[in-house]
Each structure stands twice: as C-alpha cells, then as structure tokens.
Amino acid sequence: MRKTKVICFANNKGGSGKSTTCSNVGYGLTQLGNKVLLIDGDMQLNLSLSLFDEDQVLAFAQGDRNLYEGIKKQDDLTGYIVHSPYEGLDLIPSSTLMSSIEYELFTKWQREFILRKCLSKIRESGEYDYILIDAPPTLGGWVMNILCASDEVIIPVESTPWGLFGLGNMFEFLEEVKQITPDLRLGGIVITKVDTRKNYFKQTLESLKQLDNVKVFDTYIRVDSGIEWSQDNNVPIMAYKKSSRSAAEYMELAKEIADEK
C-alpha cells in the first residue's frame, strides 16, 4: 500500500511547459521505481498525446471513458484509467468536450471538490505513488477543482518577461484557492524553455529567487528540439532519446520532486 501524493502542474499562461513537464516528470518518477497516474485535465489533449498517437487519443476523447465523462457523471475514476505503453505509467485521458466542463460544474453541489471526490477511491487504494494532473491555461472553476484535488501545485514558468508577468495572477488565484483548501502547498516553480545564451534567464532566476516563501527548483529545463521530436512521436523524452539534454534534465527534476515526498 502506497501513500499517494497528488501534484498538479498549473499556470494560466499557455505554452509555459505544463504538459511537457507533467508527462516527462511522470515518466521520470517511474524510472525511480514509482507507480504514476497521469490525468489530462486539458481539452487540448496534449498530455494524452505525449503517450498515445492521435488516433488513439481521439478514440479516448470520443468514447465514454474520458475525464469529461467521469466528471460529468461524478463517477469513481478508477474505471477510466488506461495503461500506457510504459511500465508503471497510467493515464486518465481527456476530451475536447472539456471545453464545456465549467458549465457542467456550475450547478453542482460543492462544485470545487468534484474531482477530489471522483479521485478518492484511487487515492485510498494506495495503487499509485503519484497522481500528476495537467491543468489547462485558465483560472476558473475547473482549475480550482484540480487545485482542490491536489496536495501540491508546481508552476512551470517560461523564462520570458511575459512569463514572469503572468505569475502575479497565478499567485493571487492561489491565495483565493487556499481559503477553501488551506492544505494546498506550493511545491515550487520550475523554469522551462531556457536559452542559456540569453542574459534574460539570469534575470528571471534573480527575480524568482527574491519571492518570499517560494521554492524555485534547482533544475531548470533548457530549450531542446528533442522535446518537439519526442512529442511528434508521442513518446516521453527519456524513452525517445535517453542521451538527450532534456531527458537528463527531466530526470533530475523528477529526483528533486521525489526527494520532497
């Protein structure tokens, strides 16, 4: 029986590396001997596409066993889990219908806690060491659900001026969420898509380190075309090209996250 830790990857800025980080940290954690469940919370289906090809992902999305259907019916999500081609790595796939999830939630009793309730059996079963949830680039009732279902939130931030600017909104939202789920912890910020040739990265690091009570992970993820190729092939970077720089970086990040458990 394992103690399951639920971590979500959230930031309302799109393109900050949430889905890439969720999938590759998930795979990295399995390489450290953990059993991991990934949950695709975004209608863009990117997390699902990181493990399965387009035909398969669309079949999940159009079927009746995806996250949207489970939340709509307020079902125990155990029956929605699919095994990925990788040992110890499972997925609850998403659907493009997630675009109307806010509407579905609107009239529900205790609507912020529906995902938490739907996950409770999986959590209590002790089947997984980690459940990692990929959030969409929004800050509404659905992301509130994702945060209320999590023990910890990790914020991937792109090393750009607008990437940093967007963080303010995220922190304000987290303060609101903490009023209804006080135990939610900020696991930390991970800087993504770094181009070390640019001085802007050093400035990003300096500004982030000045934030009070906010951990910045030592590992940052550099820009690497291997990431795009691995995603084009629907394979996590470590399985696609273990010798690549980003494979090593995501492995380091997975270790940092595992050390905190």
Ligand X SMILES: Nc1ncnc2c1ncn2[C@@H]1O[C@H](COP(=O)(O)OP(=O)(O)O)[C@@H](O)[C@H]1O
**Residues touching ligand X: how many (CB under 6 A)?**
18
Candidate segments 98-106, 139-147, 171-179, 224-232, binder of ligand X by CB under 6 A: 224-232
In the complex with ligand X, which residue's Cβ is closer, 17 or 26?
17
The SS3 of residue 182 is coil
Among 137, 173, 178, 216, binds ligand X (CB under 6 A): 137
For ligand X, the closer CB: 122 or 133: 133
The answer to the question of residue 193 lying near ligand X (CB under 6 A) is yes
* Minimum CB distance to ligand X, residue 221 (Å): 5
Question: What's the distance, CA 53 to chain centroid?
Answer: 19
Contact 190, 165 (CB under 8 A): no
Binding mask 11-50 for ligand X (x = CB under 6 A): ---xxxxxxx-------------------------x----
Among 34, 48, 192, 244, binds ligand X (CB under 6 A): 192
Q: How far is the CB of 194 from ligand X (least distance, A)?
A: 8
Nearer to ligand X, 54 or 124 (CB): 54
Sheet strand arrangement including 152-158: 82-83, 89-92, 36-40, 130-134, 5-9, 152-158, 185-192
Query: In the chain, which ranges are continuous DSSP H helix?
Result: 18-31, 46-49, 54-62, 67-73, 101-106, 114-125, 141-148, 161-180, 200-209, 225-232, 237-240, 245-259
**For the CA atoms of 116, 122, 125, 131, what is the dihedral angle to 10 degrees?**
-90
Could you give the CA distance from residue 12 to residue 9 in angstroms, rounded to a whole number? 10
Angle subtended by helix axes 245-259 and 225-232, to nearest 10: 90
Of residues 151-180, those binding ligand X (CB under 6 A): none
Whether 91 and 40 have beta carbons less than 8 Å apart is answered as yes
Report the residue number, 16 or 31, with the smaller CB distance to Mg ion.
Answer: 16
Which entry of ligand X, Mg ion, none binds 223, CB below 5 to 8 A by partner kind?
Answer: ligand X
Q: Which two tokens stand for residue 244?
A: 């690549």
Residue 20 binding partner per list ligand X, Mg ion, none, with a CB distance cut-off of 5 to 8 Å that depends on partner kind = ligand X
Which residues here bind ligand X, judged by CB under 6 A? 14-20, 46, 137, 192-193, 221, 223-224, 227-228, 231, 246
